[in-house]
Structure 1
Amino acid sequence: MMSLTFSVSSLHPLYKYKPISTTTLPPKPRFLSIKSSLDDETQKQTSWVSPDWLTSLTRSLSLGRNDDSGIPIASAKLEDVSDLLGGALFLPLFKWMNDYGPIYRLAAGPRNFVIVSDPAIAKHVLKNYGTKYAKGLVAEVSEFLFGSGFAIAEGSLWTARRRAVVPSLHRKYLSVIVERVFCKCAERLVEKLQADALNGNAVNMEEKFSQLTLDVIGLSVFNYNFDSLTTDSPVIDAVYTALKEAEARSTDLLPYWKIDALCKIIPRQIKAAKAVMVIRQTVEELIEKCKKIVEIEGEKINEEEYVNDNDPSILRFLLASREEVSSVQLRDDLLSMLVAGHETTGSVLTWTLYLLSKDSSTLMKAQEEVDRVLQGRPPTYDDIKDLKYLTRCINESLRLYPHPPVGCSAFPS
């Protein structure tokens, strides 16, 4: 996970429409002061001990002594071990990509991973998902959180759940949500940043974007305001705890978390279980509340692009569709949106702003496009097609720093 902190004295030009607050802002500065954990040159501690022997051993266990695939095998050094075992997994994978190229193998105990970063290879895997490839490890280590939700569902279950959810994301819904949710939440973030902008304070934007996207997901999916931009939300802490546990499980040499007895006594597992409980209880309460309202009003979808004017949320649409689905399945699907949706979107915003801050000319072009298209008014859904340069900036951010940075698919045996 990247930590991103910078002075917000130059953030407000990114938002050209008039914010709710009438506070007078200083003239637009032409710089952005930024500090990122990626720029930290601090050297890790070294030792005379090297785990090269471990690499050789696990290579034999995973690949066999006579591996003729021709794919290079990453060699873990001491400085990589802390990141591999519960640390920032992305960093050693990125380093090995530079060392070995866009495709290499990683032998870890009895497991054998093929790591790919080439766009053509990634496209091949994604196009053939469900026939030649499965979600494999990522589903295995995330099931404790997502259950049977479509974030990790496969085959016919994934197809059925996707078919049930996609109709809720129609054009009319998106238009309403952009106006009522996206713009309002963005304005609230601008308000929060104004005091820091006036004082030149540094702000952790990764944290702010995470709060922003949780508020957006809460309102657009559940019609519930977590208000995490202004209050401490236990849901954010729970989400990060659960996601960190999923990443840690992907690098555990032994899957001890599959043993229930151990999960009840190991602090890390106890903390993860409590986090999942917080998330599930929150989602279940929101579902039950909405279900009662739908039943009382006798609501039923009677048009293709249906939106309830008082509650345009995805949850309201799904309940009004009267689909025969268990409460647990609905909970897991919506939990997938809440957890995966807010965390991934927050990451995209963080990386995009990081890259823009590193290139003043690109930032200027993006600002000029926003000025020209919006003309000082809040954006609408129809404006997205005209924000072509900004869209390309976001796409480039996704290309350079896709999220999640680690995806695991498995070859069917």
Structure 2
Amino acid sequence: MPYSLSLTPISLFSLRGKPVVPSSPSPKRYRFAVKSSVNKPPDASTKSGSWVSPDWLTSLSRSLTAGNDDSGIPIATAKLDDVSDLLGGALFLPLFKWMQDYGPIYRLAAGPRNFVVVSDPAIAKHVLRNYGKYSKGLVAEVSEFLFGSGFAIAEGPLWTARRRAVVPSLHKRYLSIIVDRVFCRCAERLVEKLQPDALDGTAVNMEAKFSQLTLDVIGLSVFNYNFDALNADSPVIEAVYTALKEAEARSTDLLPYWKFKFLCKLIPRQIKAEEAVSIIRKTVEDLIERCRAIVESEGERIDVEEYVNDTDPSILRFLLASREEVSSVQLRDDLLSLLVAGHETTGSVLTWTLYLLSKDSSSLAKAQEEVDRVLQGRRPAYEDIKNLKFLTRCIIESLRLYPHPP
């Protein structure tokens, strides 16, 4: 029976639940009520017969591995009641329950597969530092329909080659320009959008706002294209959400029926997912062709180490000007990885960080004091990041408590 390793970062913390109180009155500061969907029960219409790991699967796993397993890893007895809330809900919840029951490492039978679920920091550190010995397994399998051969799920020589192609575009000069031209301006637009709500005390769904913000940032910094998601509904956001939800659903399907192409054209959920991927791919392909035409017409080539086009400092412009011999499909998949994984994950980190700060008034006040002291009322620059030490630690702690995988 095949085995897969699943890293499940588990971390709990106590929230004091105190109201957000700024350290001192300031006309630049506003109070927000941060809404999160984490406690929202799944809508009945979203529940579907996804995977469960009831008694018969656990028993089958035990019988097939009897006498052949000397690992000493306990097998989770996963009853139907344990996972009934999972259908349409969060995968984290049952995994955490089983961690409490069986310890920081256990096996879980899920259909024809066995998963080794890890929540021990030392083991997780070993796996992440020795990533060459472990495959991305199920994550890559259920996400391939979206990412293709993009570096988000690539492994081995392909991952190494694609990373080497993209990383040179992220040099210091590029980051300095993007922080000023993109990050700051997009953040200012978000603040402008929030000001009316802040003044009249209206609660705002910051998860949605941060998703819009990060799409605008990714659009400009990667493609030199303004999705203008903060001001208008973007079909790309809905398409990304639909595609990622499908990947999550596939990771918990008992049988991988979606591998049969004819079924994907008949089942409504698969039809919706295919339409979403088509929207994302068409968007990326159009942006590539637009930029390629400009690069070719200008005969542009990279001639310095930290190359940046002053009128278009995007990653796409850098990659095309580098004249790398890469297929259009591979380039599309790489940039799609940046668009989807970059925008959605960054939005999640911002949401959880703000949520945690809103629950801890002393940490919020300390972060505000640091920003005021370092920036002195001016726009932040790339060089300021190293001096925003406490705020950086807040973001890192948010990632530890609520890690968001690509």
Counterparts of residues 314-325 of structure 1 (less than 5 Å): 314-325=315-326
User: For the Cα contact (< 8 Å) 1:263–1:269, is it kept in 2?
Assistant: yes
**Alpha-carbon distance, 1:62 to partner:** 6.5
Match of 2:211 in 1: 210
State the one-letter code of the partner of 2:279: V
Match of 1:105 in 2: 107
Question: Aligned partners of 1:175 and 1:189: how far apart in 2?
Answer: 20
Cα 1:62/1:125, change in 2 over 3 Å: farther
Q: 2:97 aligns with which of 83, 95, 98?
A: 95
Per-residue CA deviation, residues 282-337 of structure 1 (Å, 9 max, x unaligned), is 00000000000000111111100000000000000000000000100000000000
The DSSP-based 3-state class of the residue aligned with 2:354 is helix
Match of 1:142 in 2: 143
State the one-letter code of the partner of 1:246: A
Question: Aligned partners of 1:257 and 1:51: how far apart in 2?
Answer: 20
Question: Aligned partners of 1:215 and 1:51: how far apart in 2?
Answer: 40
Cα 1:160/1:197, change in 2 over 3 Å: same
State the one-letter code of the partner of 2:124: A
Counterparts of residues 237-276 of structure 1 (less than 5 Å): 237-276=238-277
User: For the Cα contact (< 8 Å) 2:74–2:106, is it kept in 1?
Assistant: yes
Structure 1, 116-125 or 187-196: larger mean CA deviation:
116-125
Per-residue CA deviation, residues 42-93 of structure 1 (Å, 9 max, x unaligned), is 9x9xxxxx97523533433664476442223233344442454453212222
State the one-letter code of the partner of 2:351: T
The DSSP-based 3-state class of the residue aligned with 1:202 is coil
Cα 1:301/1:66, change in 2 over 3 Å: closer
Question: Aligned partners of 1:229 and 1:372: how far apart in 2?
Answer: 29
**Alpha-carbon distance, 1:154 to partner:** 1.0
Name structure 1 gaps, 5 residues minimum: 1-8, 17-24, 45-49, 408-413
Question: Aligned partners of 1:91 and 1:62: how far apart in 2?
Answer: 27
**Alpha-carbon distance, 1:40 to partner:** 6.2
Aligned residues: 379
Question: Aligned partners of 1:72 and 1:52: how far apart in 2?
Answer: 16
State the one-letter code of the partner of 1:326: S
Per-residue CA deviation, residues 120-175 of structure 1 (Å, 9 max, x unaligned), is 21221122222x21111111111100011011111111111111000000000000
Cα 1:83/1:288, change in 2 over 3 Å: farther
Match of 2:124 in 1: 122
Q: TM-score, structure 2 length as denominator?
A: 0.87
Q: TM-score, structure 1 length as denominator?
A: 0.86
Could you tell me the percent identity over the aligned residues?
Answer: 78
**Alpha-carbon distance, 1:400 to partner:** 1.2
User: For the Cα contact (< 8 Å) 2:35–2:205, is it kept in 1?
Assistant: no
Question: Aligned partners of 2:134 and 2:359: how far apart in 1?
Answer: 37
Cα 1:328/1:392, change in 2 over 3 Å: same
Question: Aligned partners of 1:296 and 1:58: how far apart in 2?
Answer: 63
Cα 1:128/1:216, change in 2 over 3 Å: same
**Alpha-carbon distance, 1:118 to partner:** 2.1
Cα 1:220/1:82, change in 2 over 3 Å: farther
State the one-letter code of the partner of 1:128: N
The DSSP-based 3-state class of the residue aligned with 2:114 is strand
State the one-letter code of the partner of 2:285: E
Cα 1:193/1:65, change in 2 over 3 Å: farther
The DSSP-based 3-state class of the residue aligned with 2:131 is coil
User: For the Cα contact (< 8 Å) 1:280–1:335, is it kept in 2?
Assistant: yes
**Alpha-carbon distance, 1:102 to partner:** 2.2
Cα 1:124/1:389, change in 2 over 3 Å: same
Question: Aligned partners of 2:153 and 2:204: how far apart in 1?
Answer: 34
Question: Aligned partners of 1:73 and 1:208: how far apart in 2?
Answer: 42
**Alpha-carbon distance, 1:28 to partner:** 4.7
Cα 1:260/1:399, change in 2 over 3 Å: same
Cα 1:40/1:337, change in 2 over 3 Å: closer
Match of 1:377 in 2: 378
Cα 1:34/1:182, change in 2 over 3 Å: closer
Structure 1, 102-111 or 90-99: larger mean CA deviation:
90-99
Question: Aligned partners of 1:334 and 1:348: how far apart in 2?
Answer: 21
User: For the Cα contact (< 8 Å) 1:62–1:112, is it kept in 2?
Assistant: no
Counterparts of residues 6-405 of structure 1 (less than 5 Å): 28=29, 33-38=33-38, 52-60=54-62, 63-64=65-66, 67-130=69-132, 132-404=133-405
**Alpha-carbon distance, 1:281 to partner:** 0.2
Cα 1:40/1:283, change in 2 over 3 Å: closer
Name structure 2 gaps, 5 residues minimum: 1-18, 45-51
State the one-letter code of the partner of 1:224: Y
Question: Aligned partners of 2:29 and 2:326: how far apart in 1?
Answer: 52
Question: Aligned partners of 1:280 and 1:37: how far apart in 2?
Answer: 28
Match of 1:21 in 2: none
User: For the Cα contact (< 8 Å) 2:36–2:207, is it kept in 1?
Assistant: no
Question: Aligned partners of 1:65 and 1:107: how far apart in 2?
Answer: 17
Cα 1:27/1:333, change in 2 over 3 Å: closer
The DSSP-based 3-state class of the residue aligned with 2:400 is helix
The DSSP-based 3-state class of the residue aligned with 1:197 is helix
State the one-letter code of the partner of 2:145: F
User: For the Cα contact (< 8 Å) 1:151–1:336, is it kept in 2?
Assistant: yes
Question: Aligned partners of 1:124 and 1:277: how far apart in 2?
Answer: 38
Question: Aligned partners of 1:267 and 1:390: how far apart in 2?
Answer: 44
State the one-letter code of the partner of 2:172: R
Cα 1:286/1:97, change in 2 over 3 Å: same
